[in-house]
Amino acid sequence: MPDPLPNHPPTHLPPHLPKFDLHSHSTYSDGLLTPDALVRRAALRGVNVLALTDHDETAGLAEARATAQEMGVTLIPGAELSVSWEAHTLHVLGLGIDAANAELDAGLASIRSGRDARARRMAAGLAEAGIPGAYEGARNYVTSERLMSRTHFARFLVETGYAKETKDVFKRFLTPGKPGYVKHAWATLTEAVSWIHIAGGVAVVAHPGRYKVSPTGMRRLLGEFRDAGGDGIEVLSPSHTPAQFAEYSAYAREFGLAASCGSDYHGPGESWLDLGDLPDLPAGVTPIWSRW
């Protein structure tokens, strides 16, 4: 008779794989949780490897690192860099960066530097459309003096009843052609990749499915990114449908880029996916963590 209580792990189950979530935000950019609370939540949700990737900012990493150590989570220091490419704004994740690197730090400061003037112009556009006080209103949602984003305007516009929910606000007020949208020059693609590399990180195109480019444009973008030394594509993202998981896996293989996965978590009630809520990477791609 077989032993009903085997004292060894069952051999028919796959070995435990670490759970990776390589894209998240804290109060140091437009997230709702402090780095401490974010890392605790990730740990409770079974995330083993978490990247904090605040927009154009690394100031939250020290706090995140301390909590990660306490909770037994591996913290990947990161940032999500705003980039202007052709007529588009792209986001490039730097993963495994040394936040103390002076060139990266100066690069991030230069990206952040235009944000306040941009916010004032956004508010002026909204005022013209009959929404006064948006700059001050959005400021009430800012949690780091160093960074004001469209998300803070979105929260203000929802609170004041101009839109029902965040998605709606972007569509009606904060995207190209709408009253609160302002064209802005961010870093170039080559600058972003080189700052990330100088700081010892790997560069990943975030949520490629969000960019309004044709298939030809996507190939041009990924070709330029790879030629600039770029390392990976975010294949699993809440911005993607399951069909796009497969589509961007195919692009990753075609361009010799690794694959990444991230929830892009911004906080309770504001995100499509919670921390760690991601399927496994599709078969046949090289995980980005094999590059560090």
Whole-number Å distance between alpha carbons of 59 and 56? 10
Altogether, the residues listed in the chain come to a count of 292
- Using CB under 6 A as the binding rule, the residues of this chain from 141 to 180 that contact ligand AMP are 149-151, 166-167, 170
Whole-number Å distance between alpha carbons of 87 and 290? 33
Contact pattern from residue 12 through residue 31 relative to Mn ion, giving x for each residue in contact according to CB under 5 A and a dash for the rest: ------------------x-
Shortest distance, position 239 Cβ to Mn ion, whole Å: 8
Closest CA to 268 of 36, 77, 41, 64: 41
**How far apart, in Å, do the first and last CA atoms of the chain sit?**
48
Residue 210 or 291: which CB sits closer to ligand AMP?
210
Element (H or E) spanning 90, and its range?
A: strand 88-95
Residue 176 or 256: which CB sits closer to ligand AMP?
176
- Strands 20-21 and 49-52 turn out to be parallel
Residue 98 or 270: which CB sits closer to ligand AMP?
270
Buried b (16+ CB within 10 A) or exposed e, 7-35: eeeeeeeeeeeebbbbbbbbbbbbbbbbb
Kindly state whether residue 234 participates in binding Mn ion, applying the rule CB under 5 A.
no
CB atoms within 10 A of CB 128: 11
Shortest distance, position 272 Cβ to Mn ion, whole Å: 12
Closest CA to 25 of 273, 216, 282: 273
Q: Which of these ranges, 113-121, 158-166, 205-213, 216-224, lies near Mn ion under the rule CB under 5 A? A: 205-213
Contact pattern from residue 30 through residue 69 relative to ligand AMP, giving x for each residue in contact according to CB under 6 A and a dash for the rest: x------------------------x--------------
- Out of 58, 82, 244, 260, name the contact with ligand AMP by CB under 6 A: 82
In the list ligand AMP, Mn ion, none, the entry touching 167 (Cβ below 5 to 8 angstroms by class) is ligand AMP
- Using CB under 5 A as the binding rule, the residues of this chain from 82 to 111 that contact Mn ion are 91
Closest CA to 50 of 28, 21, 83, 88: 21
Which tokens sit at 59?
């100031």
Closest CA to 108 of 72, 70, 79, 67: 79
In the list ligand AMP, Mn ion, none, the entry touching 150 (Cβ below 5 to 8 angstroms by class) is ligand AMP
Shortest distance, position 10 Cβ to ligand AMP, whole Å: 42
- Using CB under 6 A as the binding rule, the residues of this chain from 240 to 279 that contact ligand AMP are 266
Residue nearest to ligand AMP (CB): 149
In the list ligand AMP, Mn ion, none, the entry touching 82 (Cβ below 5 to 8 angstroms by class) is ligand AMP
Residue ranges that bind Mn ion, judged by CB under 5 A: 30, 80, 91, 206, 264
Residue ranges that bind ligand AMP, judged by CB under 6 A: 30, 55, 82, 149-151, 166-167, 170, 266
